[in-house]
Amino acid sequence: MTVAAILRHKNAETVTVTPETLLVDVATLLSQRRIGAAPVMEGDTLVGIISERDLVHCLARHGAHALDLTASQAMTRAVQTTRPEATVVDTMAAMTAGRFRHMPVMLDGRMIGVISIGDVVKARLDEQANEVDNLRAYVAGS
């Protein structure tokens, strides 16, 4: 299974923020949308990603004042991305090794979606369940 297959089963809308978005607004957006991260975009260019973890680190450093800061002041700038043709196994390995839970999907220099570790785990479990069903059918002679 590939990242493209995961994206086909997801909501087409990708929630993004700008570098100028206040962290209080980022926190509100993440909470309202029930998501853990949002890509930070300047126009069509991915410049970072802001996650719940980034918010917590910023709060720990700056206290309540952190909510007055902008996404660009708290975001992760070195964003690891993936491509639609990447496999679920390779993507899961990269997310595990990098200890992050959200990964933008890029095609021809343009972001086409974001996948989460939950999406990847679900895809892998579905893939394994399908393999088990196929093996059972083969052993049973169907």
Could you report the per-residue pLDDT of 6-27, keeping only the tens digit for each? 999 887 789 999 999 999 999 9
**Which pLDDT value is given to residue 128?**
81
Task: Outline where DSSP puts E strands in the chain.
Answer: 37-42, 45-51, 102-107, 110-116
pTM tops 0.75, yes or no: yes
Number of domains in the chain: 1
Q: What is the CATH number of the domain that holds 89?
A: 3.10.580.10
Between the alpha carbon of residue 60 and those of residues 57, 65, 67, the distances in Å are: 5, 10, 11
* Domain limits for position 124: 3-140
Report how far residue 100's alpha carbon sits from residue 98's, in angstroms, rounded to the nearest whole number: 6
Spatial separation of the C-alpha atoms in residues 75 and 101, rounded to whole Å = 14
On the CB side of 31, CA atoms within 13 Å amount to 7
